[in-house]
Amino acid sequence: MKLSFKRGVHPVGNKAISKDAALTDFPTPQEVSIPLSQHIGAPAALAVEVGSAVKAGTLIGKAASFVSANVFSSVSGVVKSIEKKRTAIGSFCDHVVIENDGLYEEETLPSLSELSSESIKNRVREAGIVGMGGATFPTHVKLSPKTPVDVLIINAAECEPYITCDYRLCLEKPREIMEGIGYLMTALGVSNAIVGMEDNKEDAIASLQAVAPENVRVCSLKTKYPQGAEKQLIFALTGRVVPEGALPSDVGAVVDNVHTAFAVYEAVALGKPSYMRAMTISGQACTHPGNFWVRNGVTYQAVAEFAGMLPETMKVISGGPMMGFAQADLLPSTGKGTSSILFLNDDEISDGDKPISACINCASCASHCPMHLMPMFIERAVEEEDALKAKGLHAMSCLECGCCSFVCPASRPLVQSMRRAKKLIREKGV
């Protein structure tokens, strides 16, 4: 039987648009605009001023607390301005606008004199590494679990439709990824790691298996969404169930994305801080899809021009179509968590644009929810502003994965209702 979790959905993958495009350098524009908040937690504190000369790898934002992350310049040049702008997730933060001199001079972190758990954790923190699957949780925090862990799980599932940058990374950089996994294992003090990847990427699985040491298992998972959600991945690979309100470390596991493992390799072995990443450009409404090394701070406008965004574009999404963020304009900039930018036409979004009608009590949303919730009842609790009922229906466990909205024949905006339920519970303090 294939390793998997219960429930979930099977959206059309659309990976063929970009999967065969090897990673190449994205042409960085003459100006980059780097957000000081590219992570979950406190925004980084500004560490440069207008007129400062910087290199690729110069610290421009210092982590403001333990749950925060350093931010680095992605180009060499001069700081032109500091501007408050909107990010791709809709919040506002300071952006450091840098005039790119086109030389790409680099500043690296000093070599590590020893590879101990503490020195690796410090390096991960120093390098500003965050979860690069899109969650952007600071990695050094995950490397300091409060309970003992015995296994590192590497999330290479890449279950969101369209996105193929992790797939390309596994094909093209397997040795570097394995080295990064080794550093993460040392940091955590664990002797085993499991890499999980969906079975629609067998060549990438083989690429990693060919270089994996004995204590790193590379496993093929059933292709199903959301296979890459932490709790679902842990269950599929270990059979362990993370209880409601608990963390993966409470069942002895830490989960990191495969691109995060690559970033750890770069930081530890090369002294390179986190300021560029692999990113997919895809969708039927652009002429130049593919996979690219993109420096932080490239505006979506510059990405759209390079991608050849077509007039029939109906939706631009940052991230995947299931959990990504639809963009109102092209003003935001790429960051550490920008795994993809999608340009979708009418055919690709038409299902999501059907008119909303009344719930017909078909229970399809409940029977597909990977967290075994009852979204239709939670939606009703939200409409009645009944926080206690929403909490009793375990709304706080919602992953916001979108499976319920995806299957709803009445096109109910269920994910939005789940978000409203969480907000209501927090506001009413129940």
> How many residues are present in the chain?
430
Cβ atoms of residues 281 and 292 within 8 Å: yes
Stretch that binds ligand SF4, among 126-134, 184-192, 312-320, 368-376 (CB under 6 A): 368-376
Q: Which is nearer to ligand SF4, 206 or 410 (CB)?
A: 410
For tokens 């409601």, name the residue.
244
- Report, in Å, the least distance between residue 370 CB and ligand SF4: 6
- Sort 353 into a burial class: Cβ within 10 Å, 0-12 / 13-18 / 19+: exposed
Token pair belonging to 428 = 């009413």
Cβ atoms of residues 279 and 26 within 8 Å: yes
Q: Which is nearer to ligand SF4, 240 or 394 (CB)?
A: 394
Stretch that binds ligand SF4, among 149-157, 158-166, 278-286, 372-380 (CB under 6 A): 372-380
Q: Which is nearer to ligand SF4, 56 or 229 (CB)?
A: 229
Per-residue binder mask for ligand SF4 (CB under 6 A), 336-365, x = binder = -----------------------xxxxxxx
Report how far residue 171's alpha carbon sits from residue 153's, in angstroms, rounded to the nearest whole number: 19
Cβ atoms of residues 320 and 343 within 8 Å: no
Stretch that binds ligand SF4, among 36-44, 236-244, 330-338, 410-418 (CB under 6 A): 410-418
Cβ atoms of residues 246 and 306 within 8 Å: no
Report how far residue 218's alpha carbon sits from residue 66's, in angstroms, rounded to the nearest whole number: 32
Token pair belonging to 211 = 């270089």
Q: Does 410 bind ligand SF4 (CB under 6 A)?
A: yes
Figure out which of the listed residues 165, 181, 399, 421 binds ligand SF4, where binding follows CB under 6 A.
Answer: 399
Q: Does 115 bind ligand SF4 (CB under 6 A)?
A: no
Q: Does 369 bind ligand SF4 (CB under 6 A)?
A: yes
Q: Does 404 bind ligand SF4 (CB under 6 A)?
A: yes
User: 340 - beta bridge partners?
Assistant: 280
Contact positions with ligand SF4 (CB under 6 A) in 35-54? none
Q: Do strands 325-326 and 315-318 pair parallel, antiparallel, or not at all (unpaired)?
A: antiparallel
- Report, in Å, the least distance between residue 423 CB and ligand SF4: 14
Cβ atoms of residues 44 and 34 within 8 Å: no
- Report, in Å, the least distance between residue 382 CB and ligand SF4: 12
Q: Does 414 bind ligand SF4 (CB under 6 A)?
A: yes
Report how far residue 175's alpha carbon sits from residue 118's, in angstroms, rounded to the nearest whole number: 23
Figure out which of the listed residues 195, 218, 408, 425 binds ligand SF4, where binding follows CB under 6 A.
Answer: 408
Of the candidates 257, 233, 236, 282, the one whose C-alpha atom is nearest the C-alpha of residue 166 is 257
Q: Which is nearer to ligand SF4, 330 or 410 (CB)?
A: 410
Q: Which is nearer to ligand SF4, 80 or 222 (CB)?
A: 222
Figure out which of the listed residues 371, 390, 421, 425 binds ligand SF4, where binding follows CB under 6 A.
Answer: 371
Of the candidates 39, 21, 373, the one whose C-alpha atom is nearest the C-alpha of residue 163 is 21
Q: Which is nearer to ligand SF4, 46 or 410 (CB)?
A: 410
CA 139 to chain centre: 12
Of the candidates 96, 25, 110, 18, the one whose C-alpha atom is nearest the C-alpha of residue 62 is 96
Figure out which of the listed residues 376, 381, 390, 393 binds ligand SF4, where binding follows CB under 6 A.
Answer: 376
Integer distance in angstroms from the first to the last C-alpha of the chain? 42
Helix (H) or strand (E) segment spanning residue 364? helix 364-368
Size of the site for ligand SF4 (CB under 6 A): 28
Figure out which of the listed residues 409, 416, 426, 428 binds ligand SF4, where binding follows CB under 6 A.
Answer: 409
- Report, in Å, the least distance between residue 266 CB and ligand SF4: 33
Q: Does 281 bind ligand SF4 (CB under 6 A)?
A: no
User: 316 - beta bridge partners?
Assistant: 343
Cβ atoms of residues 107 and 58 within 8 Å: yes
- Report, in Å, the least distance between residue 358 CB and ligand SF4: 8
Per-residue binder mask for ligand SF4 (CB under 6 A), 212-231, x = binder = --------------------
Cβ atoms of residues 130 and 124 within 8 Å: no
Q: Does 402 bind ligand SF4 (CB under 6 A)?
A: yes
Q: Does 403 bind ligand SF4 (CB under 6 A)?
A: yes
- Report, in Å, the least distance between residue 389 CB and ligand SF4: 15
Of the candidates 6, 4, 100, the one whose C-alpha atom is nearest the C-alpha of residue 58 is 100
What does the DSSP 8-state code read for residue 329? S
Interaction site with ligand SF4 (CB under 6 A): 359-365, 369-371, 373, 375-376, 398-404, 407-410, 412, 414-415, 418
